[in-house]
């Protein structure tokens, strides 16, 4: 029974990761469009591959649950959840593709893009950063730099920042905001060592 619980814990963990990753993809896909950022669009493509992997792993976990024939109905919902999530991820990738093909600034889109004088930056958090160990709420990144953290990449795991998410050394922060905030964010994430220090 304990083993079974552990197995289900693994199923749920995988499902939560699938959900978070697909939600993040949608966020980044639309952001790539609104900010006309190739960079973000490429991240979305990378995430789509990640979702495909996660989906396969999730299906394998569900199918190896050792359920009895009469329990099959209880697992159908999970399989369908996975399928729907992959469809969402595919649609996210389609949006990113529009950006990667190169959006010519037609008047109606030009208005959409020009209003956004924002940029997207990626910064890595170094050991000496005051951000290490703080939650997003405590870190006050927006207040300090005017930049919004869109996503956190930790190794090959992508995290959607919530106010309770804590920041770790080596995390890559992907943030958007006005260009002026870029340098501030870089200094916050990886402060330059003092000359003699």
Partner 1 sequence: MVKLGKIEYKPVPVRDLLIEIKDLSELMIDLAYSAALFDSKALAEEVLELEERVDTLAYLLDMNVMIAVRDAEDAEHLVGVSAVASAADKISDAAADIAILVIKDIGIHPIVRQVFEKVAEHLIRVEINPESILAGHSLDELELAARIGVDIIAIRRNKEWIINPKEVEKLDRNDVLIARGAPHGIDELEGLARGTISELEE
The only residue of 26, 42, 59, 142 in contact with partner 1, by rule CB under 8 A:
26
The only residue of 35, 40, 58, 85 in contact with partner 1, by rule CB under 8 A:
85
Which residue, among 123, 149, 153, 154, has the nearest Cα to 136 in the 3D structure?
A: 149
Structural tokens at position 166: 């804590």
Would you say 11 or 132 has its CB closer to partner 1? 11
Using CB under 8 A as the binding rule, whether residue 57 contacts partner 1 is answered as no
User: 154-193: which residues touch partner 1 (CB under 8 A)?
Assistant: 163
The only residue of 3, 68, 69, 101 in contact with partner 1, by rule CB under 8 A:
101
Which residue, among 88, 82, 65, has the nearest Cα to 15 in the 3D structure?
A: 82
The upper half-sphere exposure of residue 57, i.e. CA atoms within 13 Å in the direction of its Cβ, equals 16
CB of 21 to partner 1, least distance (A): 11
Would you tell me the crossing angle of helices 38-63 and 72-100 to the nearest 10 degrees? 170
DSSP-assigned beta bridge partners for residue 121: 175
Structural tokens at position 6: 């552990």
User: 106-145: which residues touch partner 1 (CB under 8 A)?
Assistant: 106-109, 111-112, 115-116
Q: Which phi and psi (to 5°) does residue 32 adopt?
A: -60, -35
Would you say 123 or 136 has its CB closer to partner 1? 136
Rounded CA gap, 142 and 139, in Å? 9
What is the size of the binding site for partner 1 (CB under 8 A)?
A: 54
The footprint of partner 1 (CB under 8 A) covers 4-5, 8-9, 11-13, 15-16, 19, 22-23, 26-27, 29-31, 33-34, 65, 67, 71, 73-78, 80-81, 84-85, 87-88, 90-92, 94-95, 97-98, 101, 103-109, 111-112, 115-116, 163
């Amino acid at each position: 029974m304990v083993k079974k619980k552990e197995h289900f814990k693994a199923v749920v963990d995988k499902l939560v990761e699938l959900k978070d990753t697909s939600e993040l993809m949608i966020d980044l896909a639309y952001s790539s469009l609104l900010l006309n950022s190739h960079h973000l669009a490429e991240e979305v493509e990378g995430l789509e591959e990640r979702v495909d992997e996660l989906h396969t792993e999730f299906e394998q976990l569900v199918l190896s649950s050792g359920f009895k024939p009469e329990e099959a109905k209880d697992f159908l919902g999970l399989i369908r959840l996975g399928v729907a999530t992959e469809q969402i991820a595919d649609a996210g990738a389609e949006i990113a593709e529009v950006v990667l093909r190169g959006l010519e600034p037609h008047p109606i889109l030009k208005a959409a893009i020009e209003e956004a004088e924002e940029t997207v930056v990626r910064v890595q958090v170094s050991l000496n950063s005051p951000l290490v160990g703080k939650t997003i709420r405590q870190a006050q990144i927006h207040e300090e730099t005017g930049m919004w953290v869109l996503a956190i990449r930790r190794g090959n795991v992508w995290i959607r920042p919530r106010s309770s998410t804590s920041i770790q050394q080596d995390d890559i922060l992907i943030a958007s905001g006005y260009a002026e905030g870029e340098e501030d964010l870089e200094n916050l994430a990886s402060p330059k060592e003092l000359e003699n220090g």
